[in-house]
Amino acid sequence: MVKFVFFLYDANLMDACYYGDNIHEVIDELYKNAVGILDYCANVCVPKTKKNIKFWWDQNLNLLKDNSTQSCKLWKDMGKPRSGPIFDKYYSDKMRYKMYSGI
């Protein structure tokens, strides 16, 4: 709160306005003060979290993703067949992962 009051009435800035000093410098200083106060408030009030946290991700998705990745690798290594047991496994693992994850 003290910083906010200081922002509203800074004697040096008021004197500069009164005596006709460069108004652009005064405006820049007021702007810097306002940004500083907003930054301070954000640091104090807004909780910090890690980036890219998927709150909906769980152990089942880890397992489904691993299965999908492994069957995809095998499918590619076998020349990307369009039918047969390798394709069926790849496609079913991929669809299971997509359905569960909502992708």
Per the domain annotation, does 29 fall within a domain? yes
* Whole-number pLDDT of residue 1: 45
What is the domain count for the chain? 2
8-state DSSP, 48: P
Question: What's the rounded Cα separation, in Å, for the pair 66 and 74?
Answer: 12
Question: What's the rounded Cα separation, in Å, for the pair 8 and 36?
Answer: 13
Residue type, 98: K
Residue 92, number of CB atoms within 10 A of its CB: 13
Per the domain annotation, does 78 fall within a domain? yes
Q: Which two tokens stand for residue 71?
A: 């069957």
Domain hosting residue 19, numbered range: 2-45
Q: Is the domain of 39 the same as that of 14?
A: yes
* Whole-number pLDDT of residue 83: 94
Per the domain annotation, does 54 fall within a domain? no
Per the domain annotation, does 53 fall within a domain? no
* Whole-number pLDDT of residue 48: 80
* pLDDT per residue as tens, the chain (103 positions): 444 444 455 555 566 555 556 778 878 888 898 899 999 998 898 888 777 777 777 888 999 999 999 999 999 999 999 999 999 999 999 999 999 887 6
Question: What's the rounded Cα separation, in Å, for the pair 98 and 100?
Answer: 6
Question: What's the rounded Cα separation, in Å, for the pair 94 and 91?
Answer: 5
Q: Is the domain of 97 the same as that of 69?
A: yes
* Whole-number pLDDT of residue 11: 57
Per the domain annotation, does 81 fall within a domain? yes
Question: What's the rounded Cα separation, in Å, for the pair 91 and 70?
Answer: 12
